[in-house]
Each structure stands twice: as C-alpha cells, then as structure tokens.
Structure 1
C-alpha cells in the first residue's frame, strides 16, 4: 500500500498552489484518515489564497472545505467507523477543551489559531486528509447512493445547506413560520431557501438578480410557499413590500442574512429588520467586516432578537443528514443545483477561476482528487 499521496499546498499568498507529494497522515487517537472523493471549490477561495480576503492562515497549508470521502484508517479510540465507509467530513473544528473556539481546517484560523498552527491546519484538497473523529459523519450509502440515486457531486452540495440550517436551528425556525432570506441568490442564501422550505416554512427570497429569483420560483413552485422580492434600495418601499408579503401583512417571523463583504452599505438589512413582526428574530451569517446600520428604537420597540451564528454544531449536522436520508431535503437538480464541472488536483487553477466566475445559487464546481 502506498504511503504517499498528492496534495495541493499553499506556501504564501503571493504564490499559486503547488501540487506536491506528501506522506499520507497517520491515524492517531481521536482522528480519522479519509480518502477524499469530492469537495466543492468555494467561489471566494481564490481571494482567500491570494490574500484579498484576509483570513488567518498558517503556511504551508493544504486548503480545503467539507468533503465526501471514504474512511481509510481510524484511531484506536474509534468504535463505529469502518474502513471503506462513506462519510461526510466537516472542517469546523472546535477546541475540545473550549468548544466555544473554532477554526475552519484549511481555510480560517478563527478563534483558535493554535489549532491552525498545529494539529488541524490542513484541509481536503488532497487525495487523503486527516479529520477529528467527531467531524466525520457516516452516510447511509444504501439509501443516499442506491435508493435516492445521489452521486458524489450531489453529496458535495450538502455544506451549502448545513450553514443555513445552523442559523435556523439557532433561532428555532418552526413549520408555518415565514422567513425572509436576503440575499437569497448566493450559495448559502439559496441553500437557506431550500432548507427553510424543507423545514416547512414559508420563504420570502430577496435579491437584485431578477433572473435567478425567477428560476428559483419555478423550481419551488409546487411547494406553494415561496415568494420573491426584488430589492429596490429604497428602505421604506422594500419594508412595505416585504411586510405585505409576510403573514397577511403582519410581518415576518424570522430573517436570515448572508450579506457578502461588498454589501456592507446596502439598505436591505434595514428593510428586512423593519419587516419583522414584534418579537421576530434575525440571524446574521454573512461576511461583512465592520459596522452595519440598525434602527435601535425599532429593535427595542418591537422586542426583536438579533443573533449571530458561526457555522453550526455537531448535532445540527446529524439532524441535517437525517433530513437527507429520509428524503425531506432533496439534493442536486431536483432543487436546482447543478455541478458545472469537476476538476482534478492538477487543474485547480482553472477550477478556482470557474468557481469565482460562476458564483451563485444553483451552481457548484467540484474538486475530485
């Protein structure tokens, strides 16, 4: 059996990824070594790698994101995972002695740089990867691949639903609730639309891309629970229209925000907050750095709750997998998600360019080591 593998390595933000031969990691107690089958190329990854997005990372580093894989070997303390088992691997690593601090393996040092600098630096852009035992989730291959007929590329779309599910779980979104999703035309915003509909909520999808919202309406038309709103930039007009669409004009129960950094000055946050009913809830999960404008008096008079949420907890991943295996949460083209192209490790630069160019709901680019 070979003891080396190919991996994409970042040595600095001023140089491209290098395809190198590294030793296959060893399974130590508390860890799992997996053979990577597929992983998404994040639309903004190129900006992380070249330093445009100033994520805290350590060099050299194998970048990566959540992946679908097969178990290669396990540490001595694993009691259920088996060699060859199909699994979903999560890059959200929490410090075992302080779970409130987390990093994203191969992506962001977050609040626990010691983990990024040491044991859990490297991600999934390689033939093999090492994950914490608690970050590896079994997938029922008989169900997802044979009964539901999902492919590896379909399963690679799961992380796009996990992130919004973390937000919805945090604010306890319930069946029958009406939730505003804004912007709804990106990867996570679009995933939030799919997940909220799966959970039995009515969704008001907001954005400025009329074509994408129209396509989204067609895909989910048979649910009867999707409404769309084209943002105008006029706070009063957007607030009035959103309120009218929610609960017979009484306002929305919840609002989930996935604003990118470029939307820091956008007015849609003010409008969506104002369109919440009294005691409504908002959860912020976007990428804005710095300040946004919030109407203090509105929040106080309506008794609104504003919640931040970084990623999700382990139990949320388990529950989301149940939704998939039970057929509640659909994947792939059934919910408008298409894989544009699959790339090997040697073609990563082309993959990064395509992922950045084709960002948005319903599209993904996959790396298959």
Structure 2
C-alpha cells in the first residue's frame, strides 16, 4: 500500500491503495421513517434526539443512482458537529463529513482501512456556504463555495462493481461511534438547506414529529428559549478557594427575562442569583441585593473571600463593592467548590438537575476566570442553542 499527499487547488489529496468507496447513496430504510421531508428543506441539525442518531435518513438501491454527486448549503457558528453520513454493505464501508475546529473533516473506511483528512476554509462564520460532494473517478471530492477543495483518492487493482443498498443520513451515523477515526461532538448548532442528494426522487425520512425551524438571521451567542438551563461543576473553575471566582456576562439585558445565573452549594439553599425582569436586573447574594435599572451591556462579578465586586458596564462603567461578612458566610468559596453553577435558570433543591424560572433571551458571551465558557461542556437542556441567537 502506498500513501502520499500533496496540495491540490487549496485542499489536500490523499491517495491510498483502496477500492473507491461507494458512499454516494446511503440511508436507514423505512423501519424508522414516519414522514417524508424534501431534500431542499431547511433543517436544523441540533434538534433533540439521541446523541449519534440521525435526524433524517434514506436508503436506495445502487442500481437506481443516476448521479454520484450531492450539493447543499450549511450555516453555523458551531466549530464542531456531524453533517453527513453514508455507507454501503450495511455499514462495513462508510463515509462521514463533519466540522472539527471549524474546518471540514472527511473520514472514510473501506475494507477496514480508515482514512481521515481535514482542511479547506473555516465554515463556522455564520454565513451560508455551498458544499458539493462528488465521486470523480478515483476521488471523493468536497468543493466549498465553488473553489476550495478537499479530496480523498483511492485505488485498487481489483475492479469492484457497486451493488446492493446505499444509505445516507443527516446529523447522525448508522454505525457504532467507536469506529469513527477522529472523535468529535456530533450535535451541531447549525442548519442545512437547498439540498440535492444524489438526484434521488424520493424524500428523506424522519421519525421526529416536527422539525425545528432555522432562524432567518443569526448572530453569535447562546440562546435560551425559556425551557431549560446549562449546569457546570464549580470545581472546574475554582481549583483553590483563595483564587476567587470571576464571572463576566455580555448581552442586551433589557431584552432578557428569567434567571441568568444561579449558584448552589450541596445541602444548602441558593446563595447567589442573577435575574432579569421588566428591563431590570437583580443580583442577590445571601442577604445582599443589587438592582440595576439601566440598560446593561456587560456585568463582571468578582467573588473574593471577603467581598463581592460588581462592574456594571453602561456607557460609563460603574463598580459596586459589597463587603461579605465572614460570620454569616464563613468560607463560602470553599463550599462553592463542591457546588453547581447554572446558566439560564434557577437550580433546584435536588441533584437531579431540575430547575425553574428559565431564561428567555440571548447571552452574547459568558466568561469564567477570564475564559470563554463552552456550553458544549455542560449538562444542558437540548433546546438551548450554544453558539447562535436569532438576530
């Protein structure tokens, strides 16, 4: 087996001694299907379902295939997630297209020989990009916006005539996830539209009762629709209590309603909440309460052992400092280290992650200890869009 790679039209070319993978048409068949969806439909890939399960799928006979190319548009701010899957021989040979760190990633398995290649332009800029997948002779080619290319090439001395079933799927895979060469987070906060999938005349099949909509325009941020929260263990951010805890939140607080942030230590009542209502933001820390009626663009809260400092960023920044009584709140940061921090809701009394007073609105950005918070690392309600908000 001989392998080599070289630059090709701004992309990568990988040639291996393999039979050309027949991934052009793939699917799951009718046993899951509940309703048909047009290939041209606009589809939100992050819809609620089992983590690796496809959102849509279809199956065709290789003999029915009249085109070995597919095209569609994709839009996302999410740097990682699964877009398209295909296989033959009931999953023995397969193909996966995803994003990793914002770049297209193609993974192929043929006769138990895996290949992966990533490159091309970053696609997580919130703009619509046109992707074209095609099988041209010995190569599987991904073309982005008509120019940048990512190529996987395969050769074999033995000619193999494709036959049997081909399966394709959006947003999920039909094989064990452990077979994936380069692991990644499958759920993508993104949309696809205007698909032409191998020129098939029959539609996708989906088992969901109703497809979630895609917003006409989006902006970077975290969108909470008022149905759930995201939870983190505070110990991740606070290895030592003496270091303090700094939390920054950006957004148009006048357009929010509900609990923005809550903190709870195990076995204790809620000690800290930040909530928005009627264009007023209220910060509650034990017996202390700060109400902010001006339109706030940014809040930075710094918790130290003996004080809480709140920076309110209006047109002219304002800082409020609250002295914390060591008698009423002895070693509270040490207690917090074993607790939980919730974004977008009020933490419940138990450990079952049940919350209330959920947030409706968009947070442009959240930072903890000076670093952007990644909601993909949280335990969160699936309705939350971790990378985009309606604009």
| TM-score above 0.5 | no
TM-score (norm 2): 0.27
Structure with greater helix percent:
1
Task: Give me the TM-score of the superposition, normalised by structure 1.
Answer: 0.28
Between structure 1 and structure 2, the one with the greater Rg is 2
Greater RCO (Cα-Cα under 8 Å, separation 6 or more): 2
| Bigger strand fraction | 2
